[in-house]
């Protein structure tokens, strides 16, 4: 079968209105959960959009699931811009977020701005960066120039060596206090979303309630975050790596990839995923 006659091409386009920054803020204010998944190419960009995913994150996790690296560190800005372009060509209504890769925003705010412009020109509607503290001025600089920002705290994979591995963050009082201050600073700087990765569920619940203007997106941070995100290949059960405990294989029992993604969206929306007894810390 040729690509021109493939079922993916023949699928009926979704009729939903595009997800905008205003829509995300309305969802957060009303308590509607935000369903986010990673996506890296045009085919899955269309599938994710058609299946009702609110946000597609073109993550630097592509370094592991697509390129075969053992971390995200080898991913370059050129790689990210290429994959953002691929997804943007097929996506019509989901909010599209591009990851700023390692070394592309660490030098100064001008470097961060140039890197963000590259992703926005490639089709991203928001950029994501990792870390708290030193990143708040970067976030403020970008937001002031019309670039929406998603922050990322807790386990930050680009700092995996400094953190001593892929470990839960914020377990002790000092770690929890640091995360709380980082989140306040990022919210004040203008971040709209903030990924909480491998943060204890109880702490994530407290911070989600405290942060009125920045929606928390959990990945291994419990069910009470304002939304959830997973790596697409993980939730489809096709990753070559051992799955973290916060992942649920939505392909298990699903008749198709599309149905697995729809089940993920529905489970996030109704709060049945994640199950804190199984997926949280």
- For 168-191, what is each residue's pLDDT tens digit? 888 899 999 999 999 999 999 999
**Alpha-helix runs per DSSP H in 91-172:** 109-122, 136-144, 160-163
Residue 172 in marked binding region: no
pTM over 0.75: yes
Return the axis-axis angle of helices 136-144 and 109-122, rounded to nearest 10°.
50
pLDDT tens, 75-93? 999 999 999 999 999 999 9
pLDDT at 55 exceeding the cut of 80: yes
Residue 2 in marked binding region: no
78 part of the active site: no
Look at residue 164 in the predicted model and tell me its pLDDT.
Answer: 65
What angle is formed at CA 142 by the lines to CA 227 and CA 109, rounded to 5 degrees? Answer: 125
Q: Which of 26, 140, 197, 210 is catalytic?
A: 197
Residue 212 in marked binding region: no
Residue 270 in marked binding region: no
């Amino acid at each position: 079968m040729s690509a021109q006659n493939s079922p993916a091409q023949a699928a009926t386009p979704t009729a939903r209105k595009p997800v905008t920054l205003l829509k995300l803020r309305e969802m957060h204010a009303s308590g509607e959960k935000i369903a986010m998944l990673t996506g890296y190419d045009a085919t899955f960009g269309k599938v994710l959009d058609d299946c009702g995913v609110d946000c597609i994150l073109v993550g630097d996790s592509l370094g592991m699931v697509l390129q075969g690296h053992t971390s995200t560190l080898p991913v370059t800005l050129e790689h990210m811009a290429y994959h953002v372009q691929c997804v943007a060509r097929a996506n019509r209504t989901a909010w599209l977020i591009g990851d700023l890769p390692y070394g592309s925003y660490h030098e100064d705010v001008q470097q961060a701005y140039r890197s963000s412009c590259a992703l926005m020109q490639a089709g991203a509607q928001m950029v994501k960066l990792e870390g708290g503290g030193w990143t708040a001025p970067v976030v403020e600089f970008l937001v002031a120039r019309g670039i929406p920002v998603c922050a990322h705290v807790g386990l930050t994979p680009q700092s995996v060596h400094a953190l001593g591995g892929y470990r839960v963050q914020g377990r002790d009082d000092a770690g929890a206090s640091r995360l709380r201050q980082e989140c306040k600073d990022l919210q004040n700087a203008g971040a709209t979303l903030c990924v909480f990765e491998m943060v204890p569920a109880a702490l994530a619940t407290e911070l989600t309630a405290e942060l009125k203007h920045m929606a928390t997106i959990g990945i291994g941070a419990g069910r009470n975050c304002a939304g959830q995100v997973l790596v697409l290949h993980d939730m489809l059960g096709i990753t070559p790596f051992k799955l973290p405990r916060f992942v649920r294989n939505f392909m298990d029992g699903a008749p198709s990839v599309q149905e697995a993604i729809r089940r993920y969206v529905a489970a996030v929306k109704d709060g049945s995923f994640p199950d804190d007894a199984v997926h949280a810390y």
